[in-house]
Structure 1
Amino acid sequence: MKLQYIKAIGLIGMSFMMFSCTKKVLEKSPVSSFSAQDFYKTPSDAQAGVYGIYDAAQSVFRMNFAYWGEGRADNVKTAQSGEGLVLMQNNLNETASSANWAALYSMISRANFAVKYIPGVYGNEGGGAQLIGQARALRALAYFYLVRIWGDVPLITEPYTSTEQDIFVTKTKKELVLDQIEEDLKFAAANCVAKFNNSNDRIMFTSGGANALLTHVYMWRKKYSEALATSELVLNNSLYGLVSSMDDWSKIFTTSYSKESIFEVGYNDTETNSLRVLYAIGSYAIYTPSEKFKSSYEAGDKRISYLYDTTLVEPKAIWKFLGKGVSDEVSTPSKQNIVLLRLADIMLLRAEALNAIGGADNISKALELLNKIRKRAGVPEFASDTEAIEKYGDLESAILHERSVELAFEGHRWFDLVRTGKAISTMGPINGLSDERNLVWPIFIDVLNKNPNMVQNEYYR
């Protein structure tokens, strides 16, 4: 059933406009007097409240998933002015649209209301635990983007319900934010359902989705043993499996709801996104494949012809999300889902973790995972880590190369470069990136102007 949660948005839209106030708090606006407790009366209200968080996620990721995850990295280029060029040239400033965290905090605000008030709906029955699990997973998702993009950020886990609360928030150390993210995801993994037995398995958080996101968090924090534990749970989950053919690989993105998908942000004809604007409107596409990216594929890689028109010296579109041979000139909004987590992604993270821990057995297991992805793509498997080292310098680089090509344009590349300490060495020759303090985004000007306690990130002062 396509996007069940969108059906509930009309029921709660006006309510959340009234009490979703974290965004306003961060911008020094009055706190609403609306009582969320009056909204959360029945299990249907609780479900609708969680749907509202997914609705907020649609707004968060409709375009920014690419700005945040690809725009500052080496796989894309742009011939356009505007935000895409600002990011590619590393000319970020406090007016950049991608520097505005308001939509993420709106998503967090809705989650905070759900976490606080859903228990009162169910009393001591515990029936709301799986809904609270989803709310906490979505809150963790928002905070994980915040901490990776801005570093230290305000940590708000209680809803704003009174004018007596302090609205001039300050930053929290990023490690403390990451601690909260872990806590939320552990709760979600323990309390979310294993499966919904319908398409919601891909567009709503299950225990598998929580473990997949937790794997990303552990890899960001270099907690490799913990990442092995959560990734094993994902790989052993019968809900997920690698697709075998390239046509099916393409459908992960163009048709959605693939067995390889773990979590997607759902869209439809009404709730649309900007994939076509980002990747496919002819000479007006914001991003096209970079020269470096086009030269990075190994001979015979079956993925490349599904990503862009290889017959053109200068491809005008990225086909991955919109389909092989998509018309370059159609400017209608896109309804394809945005895939944030999938099995190949988690397999390659697990391979990284195994390699980082080391030992002959772990290296062998890492190669096995890497080779499964390479085999599907039609490129030669590595007979040993020596072959990977000869080709890419070390096994970690071989795995990161595979992530670059397998997960191309899905919003992972910049975070992979930062996470592995390769952002400056990779991007320095391209756009002059040279300062560790420049890895985070600036804080948006409206936040600075309206909150006297908010301090600009050091590099941008």
Structure 2
Amino acid sequence: MQKLPQVLEKDIRYNEQNMKVDIASVRFLRALAYFYIARIWGDAPLISDVVDNDFNNRQRESQARILDFVQQELVAAAAALPWNYNGQQPEYLGVYYDQGGSFWQSRIASKAACYAMLAHLNAWRGDYASCESYARLVYENTSLGNYTFAATASLTTETAGVFGGQNNGVIFALTADANFQESAAKGHLEDWTLSTPLVDKTTPDIFIPADSILQIFSEPNDQRFAISQSGAVTGDYFRNFTNPVPMFSKIKARSFTQEPLYNDFQSAIVITRYEDIVLLRAEALYYLNDISNAVVYLNTIRTRRGLTEFDTQTGGNVLTAILKERQRELLGEGHRWFDLLRNQRADLYSGLSKDQIQAGAALWPLAQSTLINNPSLQQNSFWK
């Protein structure tokens, strides 16, 4: 960020429009990284300048200070970024780095990506009025951002679907495209979750037990996964359900690199997609005591996945229903733990008591190597 003005000065091919958008993109990525750091470890060193290798002994800033910084950066980035890169947005006119708008779809920072993360940030802080405001911006500008609801089939399609990365259902993802040599045999979720017949592995390394799957997908006709009274399975979130170890097959973006077939994986890490923000808006409306509209947005997702509309008279607690729908829709995408913490429900599912969570058990411990590299840091209190 601090060097780009020198590029502008010395490279006639570079221009101020590019520099403005590039700096905003970096601010978005830095804010995204710090949002995860603050939620996972709490307090952390906050580095916002050129460090010249002197950062090892920086002390931790408070989580609140880091979240303030994240908010500041996302607001600044949103002001400079276009909704999409079709070359017709006032923030960026023309072709961005010689590629059309479809090339950049969901794989680069945008206004929608900033507003989506601002919605999550404010939900995490308990400011649901701001959360709803930012989620509404995402919801009301789908045509500008060129994102929409994902078809159920695209949630489990191997390469052209949501987890291929470039999909109109995705607002922002970190891609791993085999066309650019970004795929890998290790390090992707599929390396742990897939088994035969998709990969040469008898049982997956990690899995969801069958009884838990039935508790999560407990309603009939769910297009993502359902099992009838006769035992017939529909939906492609899971395969081998009758085996002792079911396979989580929702995410399976494979690329075949040679004969005999050798699997590389190229699934994107989907940071946020449209359904995530619609359900987050439902959560915000619940906390703002607008229950009727919260149910409207909840049902927007339910009916698209084959479920009946939620009935406030017979369906139980609305917030519980919203969180369960987030669990079903976003399964495997890294949201559930933060959803539970944000809503003070982690003790119901994690084995941690409320007292342990209050004492800091929900924060990860710092690695020993980190403590050695930076003596100014102290271990998180619960893990000392």
Other-structure match for 1:387: 314
Equivalent pairs counted in the alignment come to 331
Match of 1:242 in 2: 149
Distance (Å, rounded) in 2 between the aligned partners of 1:119 and 1:293: 53
* Residue of structure 2 aligned with 1:258, choices 151, 160, 167: 167
CA apart distance, 1:433: 8.0
**Correspondences of 1:194-343 after superposition (within 5 Å):** 194-196=83-85, 197-237=101-141, 238=143, 239-243=146-150, 245-251=151-157, 252-269=161-178, 270-272=181-183, 273-281=187-195, 282-290=201-209, 291-297=211-217, 298-304=219-225, 305-309=235-239, 311-322=241-252, 332-343=263-274
Residue 460 in structure 1 maps to residue 351 in structure 2: no
Q: Does 1:400 align with 2:323?
A: yes
Equivalent position SS for 2:238: coil
Aligned counterparts of 2:155 and 2:369: Cα–Cα separation in 1? 42
Provide closer, same or farther for how the CA distance between residues 357 and 306 of structure 1 changes in structure 2, counting only shifts above 3 A. same
Residue matched to 1:348: 279
- Within 5 A, what are the aligned runs for 1:54-73? none
More helix per residue: 1 or 2? 1
5 Å matches for 1:350-429?
350-358=281-289, 362-383=290-311, 385-389=312-316, 394-428=317-351
Separation of aligned partners in 2, 1:367 and 1:422: 20
Matched residue, 1:116 = 2
| Deviation, structure 1 residue 276 | 2.0
Q: Tell me: CA distance 1:202–1:149, structure 2 relative to 1, closer, same or farther (3 Å).
A: same
SS in 2 for 1:258: coil
Change (3 A) 1:319 1:453: same
Q: 1:205/1:302 Cα in 2 relative to 1: closer, same or farther (>3 Å)?
A: same
User: Hey, what does 2:98 align to over in structure 1?
Assistant: none
The equivalent residue for 1:60 is none
- Distance 1:331-1:356 versus aligned 2 partners, 3 A rule: farther
Question: Contact 1:277/1:333 (CA < 8 Å) preserved in 2?
Answer: no
Native 8 Å contact 1:442 1:460 kept in 2? yes
Provide the C-alpha distance between the structure 1 equivalents of 2:326 and 2:134, rounded to a whole number of angstroms. Answer: 19
Describe the SS at the equivalent of 1:216: helix
User: CA 1:254–1:208 in structure 2 vs 1: closer, same or farther (change >3 Å)?
Assistant: closer
Gap change, CA 1:134 and 1:125, over 3 Å in 2: closer
| RMSD over aligned Cα atoms | 2.4
**Distance in 2 (alpha carbons) for counterparts of 1:426 and 1:336:** 28
Q: What CA distance in whole angstroms lies between the structure 2 residues aligned with 1:262 and 1:309?
A: 28
Distance 1:380 1:331 in 2: 42
The structure, 1 or 2, with the larger RCO (C-alpha pairs under 8 Å, 6+ apart) is 1
Task: Report the Cα distance in structure 1 between the residues aligned to 2:319 and 2:35, rounded to whole angstroms.
Answer: 23
Aligned residue among 18, 27, 31 for 1:136: 27
In 1, Cα distance between the equivalents of 2:168 and 2:32?
21
Specify the alignment match of 2:70 in structure 1.
181
Q: What's the secondary structure of 1:198's corresponding residue? A: helix
Tell me how far apart the structure 1 counterparts of residues 18 and 173 of structure 2 sit (CA, whole Å): 25
Tell me the alpha carbon deviations over residues 427-452 of structure 1, each in whole angstroms, 9 at most, x when there is no partner. 22xx7786011101000110111221
Alignment TM-score, normalising by the size of structure 1? 0.67
Q: CA deviation at 1:127?
A: 4.8
Indicate whether 1:153 and 2:44 are aligned: yes
TM-score by length of 2: 0.80
